[in-house]
Amino acid sequence: MDTIFTHKTVLLNATVNALVARDFNAKEEWVHLPVPSAKVDGVFVDGTFGRGGHSRYLLSHLSESAKLFVFDKDPLAIQEAQRLQQQDQRVHIIHDGFSTMQEALKEHGIEKVQGILLDLGISSPQIDDASRGFSFMKEGPLDMRMDTTRGITAQEWLETADINEIKEVIKNYGEERFAFQIAKAIENRRKSSPLRTTLELAELVSATVRTREKGQHPATRTFQAIRIYLNEELEELSRTLASILNLLAPEGRMAIISFHSLEDRLVKQFIAKAVNPAAAISRHLPLRESEMPQALLKSFGKIVATKQEVEENPRSRSAVLRVAERTEVEQ
């Protein structure tokens, strides 16, 4: 019997309503709005299909002539998307990372879209499936690849990377203050026997990190860092943000959910720069007001989970949703 892994979608109402509820611009209303009776037309993108929670709810808002392009690296996510596609022909599947969306959409004759959704990070089914190697709480192979058909595994990287590279990855991507000690412990361990399983790595890190953060496993930051690095998550996000301004039609919206400070900082800074591009220009340059660059985005700020949602879905505790709308100004 196949194991069934469940996934409770984070910030479901707020995210989808932010994309399609054009008559409501107050972010407080997005959290509780019902599905509108008038369906929305156009092309929308779910760049992180996962198990399809956001996509299914989004489809209930869309007209019969609308299109929804879904992207994911995970082969299991693509299988779930294919099941949805059999039920709904508005769904178009791209088995690739969301950073390819501009080129992929162009191949389908799509130049502009009305909405882009990204739910960053890792999904509950990926964590729950021990064979994927993402969880420090379950015994499994040290894999950690989002796309298991390509790239090197965490085990392969930990066997070959030098101590400085391991330290920098754990420090920069995990914001771990004991990065050097962890890297040194990994180097010492592989002299006798390589790390092969998630629990072996988790136990090694736990024995090395003496100061524990309240409510957090000592291996949390290390696992996060290795996963982000191997899957090039921050680099992919940076490339995608650069293409969003080109893809969004006027009044088109982007809705991005992040789960840790590195992701959220990239999104926040990108929106701020697009909202006020003139801030990057020296005030000493002799430019007229009409020559100053105009806003490319209108920001709606950030939304976090309600107390009730956090109680029902603890994973939403660290989620931050940022929403912005494309202006009519050409880039």
pLDDT, tens digit, 9 for 90 and up, residues 116-155:
999 997 777 777 778 787 888 889 999 999 888 889 999 9
Return the domain boundaries, the chain.
Answer: 12-124+233-326, 148-230
Q: Is the dihedral of CA 29, 310, 318, 236 positive or negative?
A: negative
Q: Note whether 179 and 264 are within 8 A (CB).
A: no
Q: Note whether 235 and 120 are within 8 A (CB).
A: no
Structural fold of domain 12-124+233-326: Rossmann fold (3.40.50)
Q: What would the two tokens of residue 212 be?
A: 């524990």
- Which pLDDT belongs to residue 30? 57
Residue 223 carries which side chain, given as an amino acid letter?
A: F
Task: Provide the β-strand partners of residue 71.
Answer: 94
- Of residues 260 and 292, which shows the higher confidence score? 260
Q: Residue 106 burial by CB count (10 A; 0-12/13-18/19+): exposed, middle or buried?
A: exposed
Q: How many Å apart are CA 261 and CA 263, to the nearest integer?
A: 6
- Give the model's confidence band at 13: pLDDT under 50 very low, under 70 low, under 90 confident, else very high: confident
Specify binding-site residues for S-adenosyl-L-methionine.
Answer: 52-54, 72, 98, 119, 126
Q: How many Å apart are CA 222 and CA 51, to the nearest integer?
A: 26
Residue 3: pLDDT over 50: no
Specify binding-site residues.
Answer: 52-54, 72, 98, 119, 126
- Which pLDDT belongs to residue 223? 93
The CATH number assigned to the domain with range 148-230 reads 1.10.150.170
What sections of the chain are H helices per DSSP? Answer: 12-20, 27-30, 53-59, 75-87, 101-107, 124-128, 154-160, 163-174, 179-192, 198-208, 220-230, 233-247, 261-275, 307-312
In this prediction the pTM is 0.87
Q: Note whether 31 and 309 are within 8 A (CB).
A: no
pLDDT per residue as tens digits for the range 73-112: 999 999 999 999 999 999 999 999 999 999 999 999 999 9
Average pLDDT for 237-253: 94
